[in-house]
Amino acid sequence: MPSDPILEIRNVSYAIGGRPILRDISLTVHEGETVVLLGRSGSGKTTLLKAVNGLVHPNSGEIRFEGKPALEWDPIRLRRRMGYVIQDAGLFPHWTVAANIGLVPRLENWNPEKVASRVESLLRDVGLEPAEFEGRYPRQLSGGQKQRVGIARALAADPPLLLLDEPFAALDPITRFDLQRQFLEIRRSGETETGGATAAAKSALFVTHDVREALMLGSRVALLKDGAMDVLATPAEFLAARTPEALAFLASLEDHWRPHE
Amino acid sequence: MNSRLASEILALSLEHLELVAITIGIAAAVALPGAVLLARRARTRRWVVGFANIAQTIPSLALFGFLLPLPLIGGIGKRTAIVALCLYALLPILRNSLVGILGVDATVRESAVAMGMTQRQILWQVELPLAVPSIVAGLRIATVATIGTATIAAAIGGGGLGVFIFRGISMVDTPTVLAGAIPAAVMALLADEGLEWIERRLSPA
Ligand SMILES: Nc1ncnc2c1ncn2[C@@H]1O[C@H](COP(=O)(O)OP(=O)(O)OP(=O)(O)O)[C@@H](O)[C@H]1O
Ligand SMILES: [Mg+2]
With 80 as the cut, is the pLDDT of residue B143 above it?
yes
pLDDT of residue A130 exceeding 70? yes
Domain spans, chain B: 3-202
* pLDDT the model gives residue A187: 67
Q: Do A104 and B115 lie within an 8 Å CB cutoff?
A: yes
Contact indicator for B48, B34 with CB cutoff of 8 Å:
yes
First to last CA, chain B: 46
Q: What is the pTM of this model?
A: 0.83
Instruction: Give the pLDDT score at A193.
Output: 42
Which residues 76-105 in chain B show a CB within 8 A of chain A?
105
Segment B161-174, tens digit of pLDDT: 888 888 888 888 88
Residue A16 lies in a domain: yes
Instruction: Provide mean pLDDT across the span A142-150.
Output: 90
Are A11 and A60 in contact by the 8 Å Cβ rule? The answer is: yes
- Helix, strand, or coil here: A105? helix
Q: Indicate the pLDDT class of residue A1, thresholds 50, 70 and 90.
A: very low
- Give residue-wise pLDDT tens across range A213-259: 999 999 999 999 999 999 999 999 999 889 999 999 898 887 666 77
Averaged pLDDT of chain A: 88
- Is B186 near chain A, with CB under 8 Å? no
- Residue A228 CA, ligand 2 centroid: distance in Å: 15
Mean pLDDT of chain B: 88
Contact status of B50 with chain A (Cβ, < 8 Å)? no
Report yes or no on A117 lying in a domain. no
pLDDT given for residue A261 in this prediction: 63
* Pick from A144, A149, A214: nearest CA to A173: A144
Residue A36: domain span: 1-77+163-170+202-261
Q: Of A153 and A87, which is predicted with more confidence?
A: A153
Hey, CA dihedral for A193, A197, A200, A204, is it positive or negative? Answer: negative
Paired strand residues for A65: A7, A68
Q: How confident is the model at residue A192 (pLDDT cuts 50, 70, 90)?
A: very low
Check: CB of residue A207 under 8 Å from CB of residue A165: yes
The total number of structural domains that make up chain A: 1
Q: Taking a contact as any Cβ pair under 8 Å apart, which residues of chain B between 100 and 129 contact chain A? A: 105, 107-108, 110-118, 121, 126, 129
Query: Can you say whether the dihedral through the CA atoms of A20, A26, A32, A36 is positive or negative?
Result: negative
Atom of ligand 1 nearest to the CA of A87: 27
Q: Which atom of ligand 1 is nearest to the CA of A227?
A: 14
Residue-wise pLDDT tens digits, A51-103: 999 999 999 999 999 989 999 999 999 999 999 999 887 899 999 999 999 99
Is the pLDDT higher at A66 or at A197?
A: A66
Q: How much is the ipTM here?
A: 0.86
Whether pLDDT at B140 is above 70: yes
- Fold assignment, B3-202: MetI-like fold (1.10.3720)
pLDDT at B205 over 70: no
Alpha carbons B12 and B160: distance in angstroms, whole number: 5
Whole-number Å distance, alpha carbon B1 to ligand 1 midpoint, is 73
Task: Say if ligand 1 is within 6 A of residue A83 CB.
Answer: no
**Residue B45 pLDDT exceeds 70:** yes
Region A175-190: mean pLDDT is 77
Write out residues 142-161 of A within 8 Å (CB-CB) of B: 153
CB spacing of B116 vs A88 below 8 angstroms: no
Residue nearest to atom 25 of ligand 1 (CA): A41
Taking CB atoms and an 8 Å limit, are A92 and B110 in contact across chains?
no
Q: What is the pLDDT of residue A199?
A: 44
So what's the pLDDT on residue A172? Answer: 87
* CB hemisphere CA count around A112 (13 angstroms): 1
Quick one: pLDDT at residue B204? 64
- Nearest residue of B to residue A154 by CA position? B115
> Distance from first CA to last CA of chain A, Å, rounded?
50
What pLDDT, on the 0 to 100 scale, is given for residue B48?
86
Residues A246-260: pLDDT tens digits? Answer: 999 898 887 666 777
Q: What pLDDT score was predicted for residue B50?
A: 86
Asked if the model's pLDDT at residue A197 lies above 60, the reply is: no
Residue A214 placed within a domain: yes
Sort out which chain A residues have CB atoms less than 8 A from B108's CB and list them. 90, 92-93
Contacts of A76 in chain B (CB under 8 A): 116-118
Atom of ligand 1 nearest to the CA of A209: 25
Atom of ligand 1 nearest to the CA of A40: 25
List pLDDT tens digits, range B48-97: 888 888 887 888 778 777 777 777 777 777 888 888 889 889 999 999 99
* pLDDT over 70 percentage in chain B: 99
Compute chain B's Rg from CA coordinates: 20
> In this model, does residue B22 exceed pLDDT 80?
yes
Q: How many Å lie between the alpha carbon of A253 and the closest alpha carbon of chain B?
A: 33
